[in-house]
Amino acid sequence: MDAAGAPAKALAIKDGRILSVGDDQVVLPIYRLVSTDEIESLQVPDFNQKMLCNYYFTTPPSGVPEIYCRVDYRPQVDRCVKFLEEQNRTIVAVEKEFIESVGEEIYHRFINKMIIK
């Protein structure tokens, strides 16, 4: 928040201090000291966004663990994965086609690595 209490905008750093400039929202560092006021005013964001990022921990036939990242742009936020809020809990609905496409990508990644070696 800026001095007037408005959400901070794009990030600029001068002499080690974070300044508020521009029109984009700032995402604060995850590893920082958080005040009690910030914790009490925390609002969980809507998880149904146009950008969907998924990380998969996999172990290919080589036995060396890997992290696979997939980023999807969804013009319609109800595609692939949908987050539903019901009775103080979050339900995740995943489309069958999304699971199949992720499985195929990971499978082909493993096959390509085995062929290249």
Q: Which domain holds residue 16?
A: 1-43
Cα atoms found within 13 Å of the Cα of residue 94, Cβ hemisphere only: 9
**pLDDT of 2 strictly over 50:** no
**pLDDT of 72 strictly over 60:** yes
* Domain identity same for 109 and 68: yes
- Report the relative pairing of strands 51-58 and 66-73 from DSSP bridges: antiparallel
* Domain identity same for 107 and 59: yes
Tell me how far CA of residue 85 lies from CA of 45, 72, 92, in angstroms. 11, 22, 9
Residue 104's pLDDT band, with cuts at 50, 70 and 90, is very high
* Domain identity same for 86 and 32: no
pLDDT of residue 85: 87
* Domain identity same for 74 and 25: no
**pLDDT of 101 strictly over 90:** yes
pLDDT of residue 8: 44
Bridge partners of 28, per DSSP, are: none
- pLDDT (average), residues 84-111: 89
pTM of the complete model: 0.57
**pLDDT of 117 strictly over 50:** yes
* Domain identity same for 111 and 67: yes
* Domain identity same for 93 and 59: yes
* Domain identity same for 102 and 67: yes
* Domain identity same for 39 and 56: no
- pLDDT (average), residues 40-48: 86
Total domain count, the chain: 2
Within 9-95, where are the H helices? 36-40
